[in-house]
Amino acid sequence: MTELTMQDGGTRKCWIAAAVIGLVVALFALGGGKGFVAALLLGLLATGLLGSLFVWMTCAPVPQLAARSPISQLTPSVEGEVPPVPEHAPAAPAPLMSEPAPEAAPAETPASAPVAVPAETPAEAPAAAVDVEEEGGSQPEALAQPRAGEADNLKEIKGVGPKLEQLLHELGIYHFDQIAGWSAAEVAWMDENLKGFRGRVSRDDWIGQAKLLAAGGETEFSKRVEDGEVY
């Protein structure tokens, strides 16, 4: 009861002091040219703020610390004590590690055994030069111009058209007997070198047709060419 009375008396004094200061602030505001309402508001504001501050600083109850427990309560009982660890406790034996198996010794090569020495590979013999004449045949004998200034109508050979006849002329071939006398090597050369018409000599049997035409004979195809049915 006495403690509460003293606290109320302190609070009252705090507010009285704050009101006095607020009044002083209001008077200063009036003297400074402020209006009455403005001075009153400043005084009330100062009173409220200072009163709350004074009450908090002087009249607020101070929290008390809880009573400390006696030391005996913090000490564990004898029954609950952890048994001390003996100073010279035997250390736990280390786990046995399996010994590594001995490595097998490398088999010794008997001194008397002959060591195989790789035979030296003989240097490769240089590739034999390719005989161009045998590989691709040989070019037939060519004429600079047709005999007596007139060439045979090579288009009478089946498989020889105007373009191919022109190509044969460029290679110096103008007559049936030239084609009829070609050897196998010359046929191979012509088959390889007739641009755009490779293989036509063998495929169309120019040799057989040329032999017949060179001897003055004729074929069914040559008759059609002479009659103007072809080309």
pLDDT means per 10 residues, the chain with 231 residues, are 59 80 80 79 81 75 55 48 53 51 51 47 38 63 93 94 92 95 94 86 93 93 90 78
User: Does residue 160 lie in a domain region?
Assistant: yes
Question: What's the distance, CA 3 to chain centroid?
Answer: 86
- Give me the pLDDT at residue 122, please: 40
- Give me the pLDDT at residue 165, please: 92
User: Does residue 203 lie in a domain region?
Assistant: yes
Question: What's the distance, CA 228 to chain centroid?
Answer: 70
User: Does residue 37 lie in a domain region?
Assistant: yes
User: Does residue 86 lie in a domain region?
Assistant: no
User: Does residue 114 lie in a domain region?
Assistant: no
- Give me the pLDDT at residue 60, please: 62
Structural domain for 195, as ranges: 138-226
Domain-ending residue, one of 59, 91, 108: 59
Neighbours of 177 (CB within 10 A): 14
Q: Which two tokens stand for residue 111?
A: 């001194």
- If one counts the domains in the chain, the total is 2
User: Does residue 45 lie in a domain region?
Assistant: yes
Nearest to 206 by CA among 163, 170, 158: 158
- Give me the pLDDT at residue 66, please: 56
Q: Which two tokens stand for residue 78?
A: 């004898």
Evaluate whether 176 touches 210 at the Cβ level (below 8 Å): yes
Q: Which two tokens stand for residue 86?
A: 């003996």
Quick check: pTM over 0.85?
A: no
User: Does residue 87 lie in a domain region?
Assistant: no
Place of tokens 């009044």: 23
User: Does residue 143 lie in a domain region?
Assistant: yes
Domain-ending residue, one of 59, 75, 106: 59
